[in-house]
Amino acid sequence: MLVLRDAGTHGVGVFPLDGELGLVPGSLSPRLLEAAARQGSKMPFAEASGELTFFWGVWISDDTLRRQTEAAGAALTALEDEAVERLEREFPAPPQGPAIQQVSVDGAMVHLVDGTWAEVKTAAIGTVTTSMNKEGEREVHTTDLSYCSRLADVASFGRRFKLEVFYRGTQTAGTVVAVQDGADWIQGLLDTYRPDAVRVLDFAHLVEHLATAARAAPTPAGRPCADSPGFRAWLAVAAHILKHRGPDEILVELRELPISAAADRTTATKLRDETIAYLEARLPQTQYPLFQAKGYPIGSGCVESAGKLLVEARLKGSGMRWARRNVCPMVALRAARASGRWDQTWPAICQRLRQQEQERHHDRRLQRRLAKGLAVPVAPPCPVAPPKARPKLSCAHARMRAAAPPTIVNGKPTADHPWNATRTKAG
| List of domains in the chain | 18-92+341-367 (no CATH), 94-202+299-322 (3.30.420), 203-293 (no CATH)
Query: What does the pLDDT read at residue 425?
Result: 45
Nearest in space to 27 (alpha carbons), one of 357, 367, 361? 357
Looking at the DSSP bridge assignments, the partners of residue 110 are 118
Query: What does the pLDDT read at residue 218?
Result: 62
Q: What is the mean pLDDT of each run of 10 residues along the chain (427 residues)?
A: 47 50 68 93 95 92 94 96 95 94 95 96 95 82 95 94 96 96 87 95 92 71 55 84 93 83 82 91 94 93 90 92 96 96 93 85 82 70 50 54 61 63 47
Q: What are phi and psi of 30, to 5 degrees?
A: -55, -40
Q: What are phi and psi of 339, to 5 degrees?
A: -85, 0
**Cα 347 to Cα 325: distance, rounded to the nearest angstrom:** 23
Nearest in space to 19 (alpha carbons), one of 365, 363, 360, 355? 355
Helices (H), 181-323: 184-193, 203-215, 229-245, 248-255, 265-280, 288-293, 301-306, 313-315
Query: What does the pLDDT read at residue 7?
Result: 44
Query: What does the pLDDT read at residue 383?
Result: 53
